[in-house]
Chain A
Amino acid sequence: MLKHDVVIVGAGLAGLRAAVELRKKGIDAVIVSKVYPTRSHSGAAQGGVNAAFDENDSWESHFFDTVKGSDYLGDQDAIEILASEAPGNILELQSMGVVFNRNDKGGIAQRPFGGQSFPRSCYYADAVGHMMLHGLFDNVLKYKTKILYEYFVTSLVTDNGKVSGVVAYDIKNGKFEGIAAKAVLFATGGYGQVYSSNTNALINTGDGMAVSIKAGVPLMDMEFVQFHPTTLKSTGILVTEGARGEGAYLLNSLGVRFMSKYAPKAMELAPRDVVARAEQTEINEGRGIGGAILLDIRHLGKERIMEKLPQIMQLSIDFEGVNPIYEPIPIRPGAHYSMGGIKTDYNGRTVIEGYYSAGESACVSVHGANRLGGNSLLDTVVFGRRAGIDMAEYLKTADERKFDEKAVKRDEEAFEKLKKSSGKERHGLLKSELQEEMRADVGVFREENAMKKALDKIGELKERARNIGIDDKSKTFNTDIVEAFEFNNILLIAEVITRGAILRKESRGAHYRTDFPERDDSNWLKHTLATLDGSGNIKFDFSEVSITKFKPQPRTY
C-alpha cells in the first residue's frame, strides 16, 4: 500500500492546478491519472479562457453574463468568486509560463465568445488548452511532484465518514494498489463518451462521477449536457467557438444566416444551447445539408485564418477533407460538456470529509443549466486552486485514519471475475448502442416518451452487460478490461442523466423538453441531487439555488 497526505486523481487542468498549490507549500501530494498528464483532455481546449481585463469591462459584468448564461440555475455566490478571481488567476498562470496572444498595447488579447457582453476570452491562437495544460504540467515538474500515470482509479475508500484513500489499477502490470491519504481530490473530467458524435477524448468516461455516486456522494444537475453547435460532421471533432468569435457565419442550405431568426441581436454569438437548438431545428425542418449545416470563415481571409485559427484549418483538412480558406465547413451539434457533476461547495468540498472535487467532474455550480464558452477552463484553475488551498488548511487538523485493505481486494475480485467471464457480449459494441440511443433520445431536444425508450434501452444494456466477455486475459497493459470498466461507468452515468431529464419537467438552458418548452421557476428553480439507494437504484433530492444579486429574468439574446 502507498501512503501520501493528498491523492489528486486526474491530471487535467483542475488536478494540476491543485497539485501546484499543494506542492508549492511542500505538501506530500501525489497525482494519479489513467493517462500521462499531457494526454488529458484539457489539452484539446481551443478557444479561450474568460477574464474581465479591459478598462471598459468589469468582473461584475462577467458575473451577470454567467448567471444569465446558466439560465439562473448557477449558484451566484460561486459565480461571483469565479468572475472576480478570474483576472488574478490568468495573470498568475501567465507568470507561471503560460503564453497568451497579445493586443496592440502589449496586454493580453481578448476575443468575443458566445453569451459574453464583452470580448473577454484570453487565447493562444486556437490551442489555449494545450498551452495551459503544458504550462501547468511544467510547474508540476518544477515542484518535483510524484506522478502515478496509467493508474486507473476504481474506488474511493472511507473510514467513519472521512476519506481515507483510493484504490487504483496499475495498467502497466495489472496490479491493484491501495493509496491511503487524508485528503483526496477528484479532478477526473467529464463524460462526453456517453454520447455518439461528441467532442470529447475517448478517455472521458465519467469515471470519477460513477465512483463518487457509488461511494454515496450526490451528483448534481446531471441532466444538463452541453451540445456544442460546431463539431465536424463526420467525427464530432470540435471547431472552436473562437471561430465565431473571429466572425464566422452559420449558413443553412439556402445560404442564409439563419441565426437572425433565433437570436437577432447576438446572431452567431448567442450561447451554445440557443445556437445548437437553432441548428437542429434548421436540420429537422429540411434546411440542412446531409444532416449538417455550414460554418463559413472564408471572408476572414487566408492570413487571419492562418494566424488565429491554424488548428481549425488543419483539423478541417485532416478530418473533414475541407479547406476552410476556400470552402465552408459542414458541422452539427455534438455532446461537449458536463454541466452537472459531483456536488461541491466553492472550496471543492463534498459531503464526505476530506473528499474534494474540481473541474469538469465537479458541480459547484457555476455553469447551472448552460455553460458559457471560456468559463470551463476558468472553472478548472479557479476552483482547482481553491481546492488546493483548502486541502492544505484541512491537513493541519485532519486526524489519522484507517485505510481498509479489503477495498483493494474487492476491486481486484471484481476485475478477476470480469476477466474470467466467457460471456458473448462485446463492450465496444454495447457502448456504440448506448451512445447512439443517448444521442437520439436524450439529446438537444427531449421528450418524455423518447426518454422512456432510452431508459428501456439502458435497462436492456445493463442486462447484457452482465454477459460481457473479455478477450484479454493478460496482466500487461490490458486495455480491454479497463474499457469494460469504463463502459460500466458511462452506462451508470447515462442512466442518471436520463432519469434526471425525465424528472425535470421544464426547459432550461441546455435541457430542452418539447413537451415542456417553458422555464418554470416556481417549480424547478432548484438543483437535482442523484444518489443510489441500498439496492443500487437512482433516487433524487433537491437543493436550493443561491441567488444573491440577480433575480431571474427571461433570457433572450
Chain B
Amino acid sequence: MEFKVRACRFNPETDEKPYYKEYTAEDYPGMTVLNALIKIKSELDGTLSFRRSCRSAICGSCAMKINGITKLACKTQVSHEIDKFGIINVEPLANMPVIRDLVVDQESFFDKIKEIKPYLLGQREDEAHNRFHALKEGEKISQPVYYKSEFQNLTGNEDTPNCILCECCYSECGGVVGNKNYLGPAALAKLYRYSEDPRDNDKNGSRLVGGSKPDGIWDCVHCQSCEEFCPKGISPVKAIVKLHEKSVKNSITFSAGSKHVVSIARSIGETGRLDEVKVAFESGGITGLINDLPMAFGAGLKGKIPPLRHKLIKDMEDIRLAYKELDLEDKL
C-alpha cells in the first residue's frame, strides 16, 4: 500500500522558516515510521535529516512529533498511524530550538541533567576493586548485602532508572513551556532515582536542596504529560510529587512552592479552613504578595478569583485521619 509522509523541513542555511514536504512511500508489514524515513532518505531525498541509532526503542535518538504526538519513530507502526490519520506528519520535538529538519538542539536538556548531581554522593568506587585484589589465595569475595531490601526496591522506584533520555517528556512538558529554565521531568526523575538510592550518602541533602531551588521540583505544573508521553512507561510526575514529600519531611522548605504546601496544610490543620491571603503571604512574603497582585487582579476581572477565606470544613475528623495517614500530624 502506498502512503504519504509529510515532513517538516528547515535548513537554516537556506530557509527563513520551516515548510512541509510530501513524500510517497510503499508500506510493508511491520514497517515503522523510522523505517519509512530511512527509506525516503536512502531512495528519494538524502537531504532529510533526523537522528537514529538503535531502532529498538532503547537509545532515545529518534523522538519526534508524529501526527502531533511526541513518540519514538522506531517504535511507531506506519499502519497504526495511517489507520488513524491517513497520513504521517513528522515534526521536530518542541521546547528545544531546531537545528535542522527533525533535529533539535538538546544542549539545554543535557545541561539540566548535569545540574542535579546524577551520581552517588560520598562513594568510593575503587574500594570494592581493591578489596577484591587484596584477597588471599583461595579466599572468596563477600558481596556487600547491606542494602538488600531497599535495593530490591530500587529496580522498581517508579521505574526511573529505565529512563532513556529521549526527551519525549521534555518536549511535552507544560512546565518548560512556561519557564525555559525549569529542569523538567527527565532531570527530576533522575534526581529522584539517585536520592532514593540506598547507597547514596548525600549527608546534607545537597541534591534535594539544589532541586528545591527556583526552576526545580516546585515548578512542576502537574500537567501529567510526562507520564502520558513516556515511551518507557515511567512517571516522572509521580517521582516529582515524592520529591515534594521528601523535601517537606526533611524540612527543606525554603522555596515558595514548599512554603505554599506547608502553609496550606497548616492553615487547614490549625483553623479548619483555607486562608488564601495568609497562605499567599506565608509562601511568598510581602514581595510575593505584591508580585502576585497583577495576576490576582487579572483573575478577578475574569471572575476567577477564589474566595479569600474558604468555608469552614465541617468534618475535621476525616482531615485528621488523612494527616495521620500522611505522617503530617506535626503540621496540625
Contact = CB atoms under 8 A, between A and B. Distances in A.
Contacts of B152: 102
Given A97-B119, A99-B151, A201-B54, A38 B165 contact: yes
Given A35-B61, A319-B56, A428-B42, A43 B128 contact: no
Interface stretch (A72-80, A275-283, A436-444, A467-475): A467-475
A234 B35 CA distance: 12
Interface stretch (A122-130, A352-360, A362-370): A122-130
Interface string B149-178: 101101100000111110000000000000
Given A87-B141, A99-B155, A480-B46, A474 B11 contact: yes
Contact of A91 (B14, B114, B117, B141): B141
B125 to A, nearest CB: 5
Contacts of A142: 117-119
Please classify how large the interface on chain B is, using the bins under 10, 10 to 19, 20 to 34, 35 or more: 35 or more
A151 B314 CA distance: 65
B57 interface: yes
A96 interface: yes
Contact of A315 (B42, B45, B56, B162): B56
B271 interface: no
Please classify how large the interface on chain A is, using the bins under 10, 10 to 19, 20 to 34, 35 or more: 35 or more
B313 interface: no
Interface string B100-130: 1101001000100110011110011111110
Interface in A23-81: 35-36, 38-41, 43-44, 53, 55
B154 A99 contact: yes
B88 to A, nearest CB: 17
Given A88-B141, A95-B123, A127 B46 contact: no
B58 A91 contact: no
Contact of B46 (A44, A138, A201, A470): A470
A35 B145 contact: no
Interface stretch (A103-111, A216-224, A543-551): A103-111
A428 to B, nearest CB: 2
Contacts of A97: 119-120, 123, 194, 197, 199
B204 interface: no
B193 to A, nearest CB: 9
A556 interface: no
Contacts of A124: 155, 161
A254 interface: no
**A102, A127, A314, A471: most-surrounded residue (chain B CB, <10 A):** A102
Contacts, number: 188
B213 interface: no
B12 interface: yes
B119 A139 contact: yes
Contacts of A127: 58, 162
Nearest to B50: A479
Interface string B79-110: 00000000000000000000111010010001
B59 A38 contact: yes
B148 interface: yes
B202 to A, nearest CB: 13
Contacts of B129: 88-89, 91-92
A478 interface: yes
B53 A203 contact: yes
Contacts of A472: 46-47, 49
A172 B161 contact: no
A202 B52 contact: yes
Nearest to A88: B132
B14 A474 contact: yes
B41 interface: yes
Given A43-B59, A95-B199, A318-B57, A428 B41 contact: yes
Contacts of B302: none
A201 B55 contact: yes
B123 A202 contact: no
A202 B53 contact: yes
B128 A428 contact: no
Given A95-B128, A97-B194, A429-B43, A315 B119 contact: no
A141 interface: yes
Contact of B100 (A99, A138, A201, A476): A476
A235 interface: yes
A237 interface: yes
Nearest to A141: B114
A476 B59 contact: no
A106 B148 contact: yes
B141 A321 contact: no
B143 interface: yes
A89 B165 CA distance: 26
Nearest to B132: A88
Contact of A138 (B52, B59, B110, B119): B119
A397 B12 CA distance: 47
A260 interface: no
B119 to A, nearest CB: 4
A213 interface: no
A436 to B, nearest CB: 14
Contacts of B45: 471
A91 B128 contact: yes
Nearest to A106: B148
**A89, A124, A138: most-surrounded residue (chain B CB, <10 A):** A138
B151 A102 contact: yes
Given A95-B128, A96-B125, A201-B53, 10 more contacts: A38-B164, A38-B165, A91-B129, A91-B141, A130-B58, A130-B162, A134-B165, A429-B42, A479-B41, A479-B49
Across the A-B interface, give the 7 residue pairs with the lowest CB-CB distance, nearest first.
A428-B42, A106-B148, A471-B46, A88-B132, A91-B128, A106-B145, A480-B46
Interface of A: 35-36, 38-41, 43-44, 53, 55, 87-89, 91-92, 94-97, 99, 101-102, 105-108, 124-125, 127, 130-131, 134, 138-139, 141-142, 172, 201-203, 234-235, 237-238, 311, 314-315, 318-321, 426-429, 431-432, 470-472, 474-480, 483
Interface of B: 11-14, 29-30, 32, 38, 41-43, 45-47, 49-61, 75, 77, 99-101, 103, 106, 110, 113-114, 117-120, 123-129, 131-133, 140-141, 143-145, 147-149, 151-152, 154-155, 161-165, 194, 197, 199
5 contacts: A36-B110, A40-B59, A105-B145, A238-B56, A471-B47
